[in-house]
Homo-oligomer: A and B are copies of this chain.
Amino acid sequence: MPAFVNRRDIQFMLYELLGAQTLPERELYEDHSRETFDDAINLAYNLAEKYFAPHNREADLNEPHVVDGKVQIIAPVKEALEAFRQAGFFSAHHRYDLGGLQLPSVVSQVCHACFQAANIGTSAYPFLTIGNANLLEVFGSDEQKAKYLPHLLSGRFYGTMALSEPQAGSGLADILTTATPREDGTYSLSGTKMWISAGEHELSENIVHLVLARIKGAPKGVKGISLFIVPRFRVNEDGSVGEHNDVNLGGLLHKMGYRGTTSTVLNFGENGNCLGELVGEPHKGLMYMFHMMNGARIGVGMGATMLGYAGYLYSLEYAQGRPQGRKAGNKDPHSEPVMIIEHPDVKRMLLMQKAYVEGAFALGLQCALLEDDQLTHLDEAKRQEAALLLDILTPIVKAWPSEYCLEANKQAIQILGGYGYTREYPVEQYYRDNRLNPIHEGTNGIQALDLLGRKVIMGGGAAFTLLSREIEEAINQAREHEATAAWAAELEDTLRLVQQTTQELAEGAARVGADLFLANAHAYLEMFGHTVIAWMWLRQAVVAARALEGAKEADRNFYQGKLAAARFFFVWELPKTRHQGQILRAFDRTTTDMQAGWFA
């Protein structure tokens, strides 16, 4: 089986870059050690290889379909999820008292990454369930937690997030699903949700939908949205599954990729018999949902990253073994063809992939570590800082990998040429699967508005100031090494550009109005994203430069590769931010001046 993750790189990220081996110093993780972390990761890798990877293509070719009103999914999906369940991965990150393994977020994220790389479609079922459980753990009442959490975390029930409706995807303010209070304190739900991943299937005993809806008479807009637990089957006092709760499949959506995961239209309360339990207080549903969105967005970014990573590794193996063409300038027809990895343009496509996927991987794990830090860092100030950093990095960790690791998949196809375009090879599926990621969990356009319209200006720019400080620290360290000094200077210049641009935008906002202030938010996201990934690469390069001396042959190659990918990013990618800064600082009006009627 071809490699789908790079285990050496996992070691590098966790222990050489992020220092995860120090996490057991924290009380919550005191039973753990680098060994237990590695055991968990090895277990995940082995299960992913044995149960997830083998049916990745089969699930693509045989997507879920309805027979006699029931959603049929190929058998290996359930087998894989049963292995996942038995190994305890539903609750890997949760506390012992919830039946969990109490692993740090950054370690459980690596475990998940193995499953995502092997089979993104099958791994979506447990990850949605875990996200659902996480929300209930924070905002559910004691009673709700007792009723649902153990079953979600044991993998007996699966979960969904039911936000979008046919007429309201990015614009949740306009959702129409309504909740009518009943005398017993529950609510009667009515409405249609769309794009609900894992919304209907027979993989688990029950499905717990977390549904956004308006309580009758609630204020219009986002401040009138509440959150409800709406199980597919009602749950009896003893935890057994009772009668059907009038949540009905309206239809399956047929996607370009990501086909292993059902995507559904769900009709709630067609027969007036759909009961939901309010979570927390009325009208605060969107806030609860957003609170959990950081985690979900890291998950999407990591999924995009691992698809990119799997494609990179596959195309690398192919390039190493495919003879074709000769070195430029070699006109001797009797010479043998070289492996295509020797061609500079193929190296470019491989370096590009490596720079994208390993940069994104570092960022995803950095964000997971911030999740740990905000809860468990020994220093209270650092906990607060971690929360702030996570807030500002969330739009980046979702949008950047979903854009650039999709691009990586495009390059993987190109390296395989015609082969890459056929369904006999995996890379075209990665590309199709990955195309979802810029869309769901908040489109990248929404991420851009979140970044420029909220995150960088919130608290007087507190998060941005903090992030700048972190980046400056990396720059200072990189300055001290000959191998990295030039890149440190390059990143410093870029950071100044981002700071200056941000300041000019903020100062000009009142003058130009909200529409123009936000008009080029996507260019801002691009510029900011590249700067953040350059930060990741500078840190990786410093680690590699330090470790290179005295390293063994295999390690030397690995570190040289890190330095080469860093170089690629600094020379070929980061300078693109100059042009974005130009557009932004000019408050460019190309899009706002354009009239809808002029298109044709």
- Residue numbers of A with Cβ under 8 A of B are 6, 8-9, 164, 167-171, 173-174, 194-195, 219-224, 253-257, 263, 316, 320, 323-329, 333-334, 337, 339, 341-348, 350-351, 354, 410, 413-414, 417-418, 420-424, 428, 431-432, 435-436, 438-440, 443-445, 448-449, 453, 513-515, 517-522, 557-558, 560-561, 564, 567-568, 571-572, 575-576, 578-579, 582-583, 588, 590-600
Q: Which residues of B contact A596 (CB under 8 A)?
A: 320, 339, 341-342, 347
> How far apart are A280's CB and chain B's nearest CB, in angstroms?
21
Q: Which residues of B contact A449 (CB under 8 A)?
A: 328, 345
Instruction: Assess the A171–B324 pair: CB atoms within 8 A.
Output: yes
Q: List 8 A-B contacts (CB under 8 A).
A: A167-B324, A169-B417, A256-B421, A341-B599, A561-B598, A571-B583, A571-B588, A572-B590
Q: Which residues of B contact A170 (CB under 8 A)?
A: 324-325, 417
Q: Is the interface of A mostly helix, strand, loop or mixed?
A: helix
Q: Which of B422, B436, B448 contacts A345 (CB 8 A)?
A: B448
Instruction: Assess the A255–B423 pair: CB atoms within 8 A.
Output: yes
Q: Which residues of B contact A167 (CB under 8 A)?
A: 323-324
Number of copies of this protein chain within its complex: 2
CA distance A327 to B453 in the complex (A): 13
A164, A417, A582, A590: residue with the most chain B Cβ atoms closer than 10 Å: A590
Q: In the complex, which residue of chain B has the Cβ closest to the Cβ of A259?
A: B423
Q: In the complex, which residue of chain B has the Cβ closest to the Cβ of A517?
A: B328
Instruction: Assess the B599–A561 pair: CB atoms within 8 A.
Output: yes
> How far apart are A369's CB and chain B's nearest CB, in angstroms?
23
Q: Which residues of B contact A351 (CB under 8 A)?
A: 590-591, 594
CA distance A170 to B322 in the complex (A): 12
Instruction: Assess the A443–B417 pair: CB atoms within 8 A.
Output: yes
> How far apart are A76's CB and chain B's nearest CB, in angstroms?
21
CA distance A596 to B350 in the complex (A): 10
Instruction: Assess the B595–A560 pair: CB atoms within 8 A.
Output: yes
CA distance A261 to B474 in the complex (A): 53
Q: Given the interface contacts A169-B324, A564-B594, A571-B583, does A344 sit within 8 Å of B518 by beta carbon?
A: yes
> How far apart are A160's CB and chain B's nearest CB, in angstroms?
15
Instruction: Assess the B560–A598 pair: CB atoms within 8 A.
Output: yes
Instruction: Assess the B329–A514 pair: CB atoms within 8 A.
Output: yes
Q: Which of B194, B327, B337, B558 contacts A418 (CB 8 A)?
A: B194
> How far apart are A62's CB and chain B's nearest CB, in angstroms?
14
Instruction: Assess the B423–A333 pair: CB atoms within 8 A.
Output: no
Q: Given the interface contacts A351-B590, A418-B440, A522-B348, does A254 sit within 8 Å of B424 by beta carbon?
A: yes
Q: Which residues of B contact A579 (CB under 8 A)?
A: 575-576, 578-579
Q: In the complex, which residue of chain B has the Cβ closest to the Cβ of A568?
A: B590
List 18 other contacts, CB 8 Å, given A557-B597, A567-B590: A6-B600, A167-B323, A171-B337, A173-B325, A195-B418, A254-B422, A263-B418, A320-B599, A328-B518, A329-B513, A341-B599, A343-B445, A344-B591, A413-B435, A414-B438, A421-B439, A572-B590, A575-B582
Q: Given the interface contacts A327-B515, A518-B344, A594-B351, does A253 sit within 8 Å of B424 by beta carbon?
A: yes
Q: Given the interface contacts A256-B432, A421-B435, A567-B590, does A515 sit within 8 Å of B597 by beta carbon?
A: no
